[in-house]
């Protein structure tokens, strides 16, 4: 099928914005579409691979609207989970888990409860089931479009975005990969170093210092791999957010200023990265709105330029 574009749970972890896009079928998958403000027929495409809460999760759709309006992208959020998603009651359990002054016993209880609800989703959406579905979508999208394509992924979706940055024989002739740039925040299941060794397009990586699933030692290894494999035409960056927990870029606690600011910064990071690598002429970026929020810099950024930004 052609990929040509066709014309609340737990308040403290759901962004207060509004999703005003539309749903349609693209590349054989139901897809949420957020359209750019201008030049809709030539705007670069950004595909969001969401975390475990799927394509209907409010935050994923609101983020699509942010990317579209601020970066002038056509943003797609496909249903890669075939109508499935993780039980949203997990959000409430993890919100309590991360609250201050929670006893160890309560943490064990809440963690076990969340895991019990998450495991059925992970089995139904294991790599052998969804990987080809995701690849097929991007292959069709690439073949049906001459526009630059970016991928932004979070948590569960992070592994697949990293794999999309690898060279592929199935990519369109003259274009070695299925995407031209990638942004990945707090990925799960990605193998270090294997999945990062083959990254061959610009990759922006965001992780929190309090992420219980991605330890600091692995982050350092990822930074080293990306820096080693960078080139003048393929740059990478790693941004570490002080105090941010797993999931902060998609569903941080809006009542916690530190998490809210980290989430806003991650949006800034992704939009800036895609503007840099997907818009090819100065005319394409004229008139793009800047963020209205004043935020504190993350703890550091690293890449081929090796810049450190101090708090």
**pLDDT tens-digit map of 107-131:** 888 888 888 888 998 999 999 999 9
pLDDT at 38: 80
For residues 35-57, average pLDDT: 91
Residues 49-85 as b/e (b if ≥16 CB within 10 A, e otherwise) read: bbbbbbbbbbbbbbbbbbbbbbbbbbbbbbbbbeeeb
Task: Choose among 54, 75, 60, 55: nearest CA to 14.
Answer: 60
The answer for 16, left when phi > 0, alpha when psi is -120 to 50, beta otherwise, is alpha
CB atoms under 10 Å from CB of 192, counted, come to: 17
Name the helix (H) or strand (E) containing 274: helix 257-278
Question: What are residue 77's DSSP bridge partners?
Answer: 32
pLDDT at 233: 77
Are 85 and 43 spatial neighbours (Cβ–Cβ below 8 Å)? no
Are 152 and 161 spatial neighbours (Cβ–Cβ below 8 Å)? yes
Tokens 């750019």 sit on residue: 36
pLDDT at 2: 58
**pLDDT tens-digit map of 143-200:** 998 899 999 999 999 999 999 999 976 556 666 899 999 999 999 888 888 899 999 9
The DSSP secondary structure of 183-235, one letter per residue, reads EEES-SS--TTHHHHT--S-EEEEEEEE-SSS-HHHHHHHHHHHHHH-BTTB-
**pTM of this prediction?**
0.83
pLDDT at 94: 76
Residue 70 has pLDDT above 60, yes or no: yes
Residue 18's pLDDT band (cuts 50, 70, 90): low
**pLDDT tens-digit map of 86-103:** 888 887 777 788 777 888
Q: Give the CA radius of gyration of the chain.
A: 18
Are 80 and 55 spatial neighbours (Cβ–Cβ below 8 Å)? yes
Both tokens of residue 66? 């942010």
pLDDT at 173: 61
Both tokens of residue 182? 């990638």
For residues 132-147, average pLDDT: 93
Are 165 and 182 spatial neighbours (Cβ–Cβ below 8 Å)? yes
């Amino acid at each position: 099928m052609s990929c040509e574009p066709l014309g609340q749970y737990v308040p403290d972890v759901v962004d207060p914005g509004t999703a005003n896009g539309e749903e349609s079928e693209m590349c054989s998958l139901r897809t949420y579409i957020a359209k750019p403000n201008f030049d809709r027929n030539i705007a670069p495409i950004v595909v969001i691979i969401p975390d475990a809460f799927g394509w209907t999760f409010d935050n994923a759709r609101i983020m699509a609207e942010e990317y579209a309006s601020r970066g002038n992208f056509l943003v797609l959020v496909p249903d890669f989970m075939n109508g499935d998603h993780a039980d949203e009651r997990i959000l409430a359990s993890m919100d309590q888990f991360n609250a201050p002054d929670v006893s160890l016993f309560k943490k064990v209880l809440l963690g076990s409860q969340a895991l019990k609800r998450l495991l059925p989703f992970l089995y139904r959406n294991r790599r052998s089931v969804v990987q080809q579905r995701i690849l097929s979508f991007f292959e069709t999208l690439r073949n049906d479009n001459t526009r630059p394509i970016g991928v932004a992924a979070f948590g569960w979706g992070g592994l697949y975005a990293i794999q999309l940055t690898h060279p592929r024989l199935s990519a369109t002739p003259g274009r070695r990969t299925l995407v031209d740039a990638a942004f990945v925040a707090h990925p799960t299941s990605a193998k270090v170093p294997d999945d990062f060794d083959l990254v061959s397009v610009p990759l922006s990586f965001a992780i929190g210092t309090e992420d219980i699933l991605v330890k600091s030692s692995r982050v350092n290894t990822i930074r080293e791999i990306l820096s080693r494999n960078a080139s003048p035409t393929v740059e990478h960056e790693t941004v570490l957010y002080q105090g941010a927990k797993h999931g902060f870029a998609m569903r941080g606690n809006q009542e916690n200023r530190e998490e809210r600011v980290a989430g806003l910064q991650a949006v800034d990071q992704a939009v800036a990265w895609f503007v840099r690598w997907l818009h090819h002429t100065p005319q394409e970026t004229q008139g793009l709105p800047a963020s209205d929020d004043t935020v504190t810099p993350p703890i550091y950024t690293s890449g081929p330029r090796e810049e450190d930004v101090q708090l």
